[in-house]
Amino acid sequence: MGIGRTGKILLADIGGTNARFALSLSDQTGPIDIDYVKVADFPTVREAIADVLARRSGGDQPKRAVLAVAGPVTNNRCVMTNSPWVIDGNELQPALGFDSVHVLNDFEVVAWSLPALQPADLLPLGGGDGLPGEPLLVVGPGTGFGVSCLIERHGARLAVVTEAGHATLPAENEREERVIACLRRRLGHVSIERGALSGSGLQNLYEALAEIDGVQVPHRDAAAITKSALEGSCPVSRATLEMFCAILGSVAGNLAVTFGARGGVYIAGGIVPRFHEFLAASAFRARFEAKGRFQDYLRNIPTRLVIKPDASFVGLKMFADHTSD
């Protein structure tokens, strides 16, 4: 069922620790007021939503809900990995009186945001302007490694959700081969996510580089590695961050040619915005383009870093507008 131009929509971005909710009018274009909720404060997502609506709706019940969740979605349902919540749109719809509830993967939602992001929301990282109407790819190192691609054909949009982070990590040179061999002894299969492009991946890179170089280093998590790399206080940390950026460029380039993402490639997630200047000065872009005979193809594809903190709500609203009657 569609909604009128003044109908309210419930938008939510739900993680393992925190959930963010907002009520937006269907014709609203400006900023929205976001309500922050701790997942631990509510036994179920239904109770959390009911509490938000009781406090925020003013008696004007929204008829639609679009929920982004940090986990895999099957049949409009997600069992959260790091919280007891189960987000089931087909149960929430009648229980809370919605006409429709859509449950989307969080990176699918980021993909939906891409056409609406403004220059102030992005930092350019090289390349041309991109081709209008061509696929837009977003990759995101964070707790894991998210990948989604927004495709538009004949006025219809589709966000392709992937598990590309679990594909095998590629090596571009002998040093990376040695790092991967070290990680293989520890992990078995070395995925893009666990081997490099996530918080735990950054830590694994750091430990592997120390091992192959025969250097004793203190235990550091991803935040400490990044901090010591940027301060210049630890050569292994700096080498780790340099390799992280180079691998990110190679993987992003691989995915760009896989999806034909000539509209542009976007970097999101919680890690990279912390060192955007370091990334811009790194081998990221050179490795992105280093695809042999397809170098010219990659050279024209823009790469941009998403710096807008609430891009997920832009994507939620874009999806809601696109799917309304």
pLDDT in the model for residue 325 = 46
The pLDDT-based confidence of 28 (bands split at 50, 70, 90) is low
> Is 130 in contact with 263 (CB distance < 8 Å)?
yes
CA angle 129, 310, 12 (to 5 degrees): 125
Beta strands 303-306 and 264-267 are parallel
pLDDT in the model for residue 30 = 59
pLDDT tops 90 at residue 114: yes
The pLDDT-based confidence of 271 (bands split at 50, 70, 90) is very high
pLDDT tops 80 at residue 53: yes
pLDDT in the model for residue 32 = 76
pTM of the entire predicted model: 0.90
Q: What is the pLDDT of residues 173-205, one digit of tens each?
A: 999 999 999 999 999 999 999 999 999 999 999
The alpha carbon of residue 325 and the mean position of all alpha carbons in its chain are separated, in whole angstroms, by 28
Tell me the β-bridge partners of 100. 64
Beta strands 64-69 and 100-105 are parallel
Q: Average pLDDT, stretch 106-113?
A: 94
Binding residues are 12-17
- Map out the domains of the chain with their CATH numbers: 8-112+310-323 (3.30.420.40), 119-307 (3.40.367.20)
Burial of 297 (0-12, 13-18, 19+ CB in 10 A): middle
Rounded CA Rg of the chain: 21
Helices (H), 9-140: 45-56, 89-96, 106-113
Q: Average pLDDT, stretch 282-288?
A: 98
Lowest mean pLDDT among 27-36, 178-187, 251-260, 303-312: 27-36
Q: What is the pLDDT of residues 212-239, one digit of tens each?
A: 999 999 999 999 999 999 999 999 999 9
The pLDDT-based confidence of 2 (bands split at 50, 70, 90) is very low
> pLDDT exceeding 70 applies to what percent of the chain?
96
The pLDDT-based confidence of 1 (bands split at 50, 70, 90) is very low
pLDDT tops 50 at residue 5: no
Binding residues for ATP are 12-17
Better-scored residue on pLDDT, 126 or 82: 126
The pLDDT-based confidence of 96 (bands split at 50, 70, 90) is very high
